[in-house]
């Protein structure tokens, strides 16, 4: 065995040993966490008005990140609409954050499904990045004091949504 081979073997053994004995870091949860204050944002609604999350303090809020091309998003929207209609008179609000789609595409979608809750346009994905949203749909249920009660990644059904709403609506 030549000295360069021996040196390479020693180097590789050292690298393997170093890798094996490195402390394992716990993965950090991405984005806002349950119990923390929901980051404030302001976006434009489909009808051109401005919506600021902090203006909804005092209400239970569902922030839902979605897109029209996302099948699970499309499938959960009727359930969100039904729960919105049932609970809006009890201090519940929905903010549907569309991710980087054209107003025309979003308007056609909301019209087809008869959505009546506020839909805002995150054209440059600033709010999506602020909340560090990965897979969609992703939803945050926010208490009247502005703290996050629940974060849900993936499609929800009416039963799940109702349980979370009852946890965030004002008493």
What are the C-alpha distances in Å from 171 to residues 3, 27, 102?
Answer: 77, 36, 38
| C-alpha of 60 from chain center | 16
β-partners of residue 62 are 94, 141
- pLDDT confidence band for 31 (50 / 70 / 90): confident
Residues 6+ apart with CB under 8 A from 54: 40, 146
Confidence at residue 26, expressed as pLDDT on a 0 to 100 scale: 38
Percent of the chain with pLDDT over 70: 82
Confidence at residue 7, expressed as pLDDT on a 0 to 100 scale: 54
Confidence at residue 25, expressed as pLDDT on a 0 to 100 scale: 38
- Mean pLDDT over 128-143 rounds to 97
In this predicted structure, the answer to whether residue 153 has a pLDDT above a threshold of 60 is yes
Phi, psi of 135, rounded to the nearest 5 degrees: -65, 150
Select from 151, 102, 145 the least CA-distant residue to 131: 151
Confidence at residue 171, expressed as pLDDT on a 0 to 100 scale: 81
Min mean pLDDT across 30-34, 40-44, 99-103, 159-163 is at 30-34
- Mean pLDDT over 37-59 rounds to 97
Confidence at residue 79, expressed as pLDDT on a 0 to 100 scale: 98
- pTM, rounded to two decimals: 0.82
């Amino acid at each position: 065995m030549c000295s360069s081979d021996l040196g390479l073997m020693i180097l590789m053994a050292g690298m393997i040993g170093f890798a094996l004995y490195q402390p394992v870091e716990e993965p950090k949860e991405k984005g806002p966490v349950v119990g923390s204050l929901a980051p404030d944002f302001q976006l434009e609604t489909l009808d051109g008005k401005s919506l600021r999350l902090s203006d909804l303090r005092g209400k239970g809020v569902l922030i839902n990140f979605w897109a029209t091309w996302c099948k699970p998003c499309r499938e959960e929207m009727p359930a969100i609409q039904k729960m919105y209609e049932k609970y809006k008179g009890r201090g519940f609000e929905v903010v549907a954050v569309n991710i980087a789609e054209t107003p025309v595409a979003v308007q056609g979608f909301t019209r087809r499904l008869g959505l009546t809750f506020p839909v805002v346009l995150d054209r440059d994905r600033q709010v999506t990045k602020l909340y560090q949203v990965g897979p969609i749909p992703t939803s945050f249920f926010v208490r009247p004091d502005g703290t996050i009660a629940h974060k849900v990644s993936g499609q929800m059904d009416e039963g799940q949504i109702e349980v979370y709403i009852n946890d965030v609506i004002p008493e």
